[in-house]
Copies of this chain bind each other. A is one copy, B any other.
Amino acid sequence: MAESEKEAALPPKEKFSDWYNELLWMAEIMDVRYPVKGLYVWYPFGFAIRRNTYNIIREILDNSGHQETLFPLLIPENEFMKEAEHIKGFEDEVYWVTHGGKDLLEIPLVLRPTSETAIYPMYKIWIRSHADLPLKLYQVVNTFRYETKHTRPLIRLREITSFKEAHTVHATWEDAEVQVREAIELYTEIYRRLGVPVLRSRRPDWDKFPGADYTDALDAIMPDGKTLQIGTVHHLGDNFAKTFNIKYEAPDGEQCYAYQTCYGISERSIAAIISIHGDDKGLVLPPEIAPIQVVIIPIIFKKGAEYVLAACKDVQKRLKKIGVRVEIDASDLRPGAKYYKWEMKGVPLRLEIGPRDLENNVAVAVRRDTGNKEQISLPDIEADVILIFESIHKNLYNNAKTGLLNRIFDCTNFEEVKDKIQKGIATIPWCGKKECGLIMEDQINAGILGIPLEQKKDWKEKCPVCKEETKTLVYVARTY
């Protein structure tokens, strides 16, 4: 679409915010020109990234006993208003539907900000016996938040277009806790597949999901050192079960309240992939996510053009046969312009094939992640391409992991923390008392991200506020 508009250069990634906004447009991920604040349009190329990403999410959930389902968007006021904590958390940011045609609705309807209050009235009907448990459902839906903060595509939206939310029900608090841990592992695995290393922590109590017993979360680190929350897992205890009267009959005939969890991932997953791996030339995509995995550039001189093109088509056919998404760019652009275009789109592998390569029965393979060039043998090209894909994925993930670990700074006092969170994430001891935590946040002028799910062993320090000894570290970070 309007290629001609896109001759401007991408800002350097160092200027992250500018880079991010321009890249979304230049690589055709999202268009921000929709005439309502906080609502954006997926370009087809961006949507293809979304499709690949959500295929992975669905695959991992389906293979772990989850089933996909779909509940209505509209929640009646009376259901929405049942759980007190939950309302407090959301009432300032929900959209209200008040009219149908010219009629005032008898009961106003909320656009779901999340679906507990849509789903749990049905769970009340569906769950009868312990044999119905555990119940593990999920849906991928649009949800809405009337954001008053600065909105940003894929990150802070008024319409979250791609909210994957799972809602599980269990017989005991402990079973639900096991599910929380399973969800954390599944999400970690999803993000490993997406090439995104994560920090895993328990949110401080004052930052948990409204209505939950506790909230664990996954964060990624962005190029500017801020963290991006890219997954949350909530232990709901029996709070919603009591509100929505979700009970099951135990083997001994007793009627018991059920215990619940819920966990979500949104298109922030895609913001993380893009931001972490991209570079000054544009997108860099893990092969499994890339809409186009290989672009073949025929190197054509006046003589032998047809022969070269035929060879390119043959390679394309062979790669397609093993499921590779591969395009040939036989356009009239100069090779340099072609490289620029496909690098911007993050195509993991470029294959250049010219007459001399064909004489030697090779192609020149250029990796998007490293820029490395190597000759690969045409007869073995299927196996080689798969190996290169694996290598690219590993390289992207490992680099990102190193980048994450290098930006975690162990600190013992507030001055250090204030300094280090300009570059990344600080750790600092905390006794665990709320009053100390709030004083800490106030002194540092940043939030406690959470308590790492994996703590250092054989280690002790003093809480910088009350000076009590503690074995607990917390992450502190600037956040999106």
Chain A interface residues (CB < 8 Å from chain B): 1-2, 4-5, 31, 33-36, 39-44, 47-48, 50-51, 67-74, 76, 79, 91-103, 107, 109, 111, 118, 121-122, 125-129, 132, 135, 137, 142, 146, 148, 158-159, 161
Closest to A162 in B: B70
Q: Considering the chains assembled together, what is the distance between the CA atoms of A345 and B54 in angstroms? A: 27
The smallest beta-carbon distance between A329 and chain B, in angstroms, is 16
Interface of A is mostly: mixed
Q: Considering the chains assembled together, what is the distance between the CA atoms of A69 and B48 in angstroms? A: 8
Which 4 pairs across A and B sit closest by C-beta, in order of nearness? A100-B146, A44-B67, A39-B72, A42-B70
A99 touches B101 (CB 8 A): no
The smallest beta-carbon distance between A393 and chain B, in angstroms, is 25
Query: Which of B1, B97, B122 is the one whose CB lies under 8 Å from A111?
Result: B97
19 contacts between A and B (CB under 8 A): A2-B129, A33-B122, A34-B72, A35-B76, A35-B79, A36-B72, A36-B74, A40-B72, A41-B70, A41-B122, A42-B69, A44-B137, A51-B68, A91-B102, A93-B101, A97-B111, A98-B98, A101-B146, A103-B146
Given contacts A31-B125, A33-B122, A44-B69, 19 further A-B contacts (CB under 8 A): A2-B127, A2-B129, A4-B129, A35-B121, A36-B76, A36-B109, A39-B72, A41-B71, A41-B122, A43-B69, A44-B68, A47-B68, A50-B70, A51-B68, A73-B142, A91-B101, A92-B102, A95-B97, A96-B99
Query: Which of B39, B73, B94 is the one whose CB lies under 8 Å from A159?
Result: B73
A97 touches B96 (CB 8 A): yes
The smallest beta-carbon distance between A244 and chain B, in angstroms, is 11
Q: Considering the chains assembled together, what is the distance between the CA atoms of A34 and B96 in angstroms? A: 19
Q: Considering the chains assembled together, what is the distance between the CA atoms of A101 and B71 in angstroms? A: 22
Residues in B with CB closer than 8 Å to A121 are 34-35
Among A31, A43, A70, A91, max chain B CB count under 10 A is at A70
Residues in B with CB closer than 8 Å to A41 are 69-72, 122
Residues in B with CB closer than 8 Å to A92 are 101-102
Closest to A70 in B: B42
Residues in B with CB closer than 8 Å to A48 are 67-68
Q: Considering the chains assembled together, what is the distance between the CA atoms of A92 and B101 in angstroms? A: 4
Residues in B with CB closer than 8 Å to A69 are 41-44, 47
Q: Considering the chains assembled together, what is the distance between the CA atoms of A119 and B39 in angstroms? A: 13
Residues in B with CB closer than 8 Å to A40 are 72
Residues in B with CB closer than 8 Å to A67 are 44, 47-48
- Given that A36-B72, A47-B68, A73-B142 are known contacts, is A96 also in contact with B98, CB under 8 Å in the complex? yes
Residues in B with CB closer than 8 Å to A159 are 72-74
Q: Considering the chains assembled together, what is the distance between the CA atoms of A102 and B47 in angstroms? A: 33
B100 touches A95 (CB 8 A): yes
A101 touches B94 (CB 8 A): yes
Residues in B with CB closer than 8 Å to A102 are 91-92
Closest to A68 in B: B47
Closest to A30 in B: B70
A2 touches B132 (CB 8 A): yes
Closest to A42 in B: B70
A99 touches B98 (CB 8 A): yes
Residues in B with CB closer than 8 Å to A94 are 100-101
The smallest beta-carbon distance between A130 and chain B, in angstroms, is 12
The smallest beta-carbon distance between A8 and chain B, in angstroms, is 16
Closest to A90 in B: B101
Closest to A122 in B: B41
Residues in B with CB closer than 8 Å to A51 are 68
Q: Considering the chains assembled together, what is the distance between the CA atoms of A39 and B121 in angstroms? A: 14
- Given that A67-B44, A122-B34 are known contacts, is A74 also in contact with B161, CB under 8 Å in the complex? no
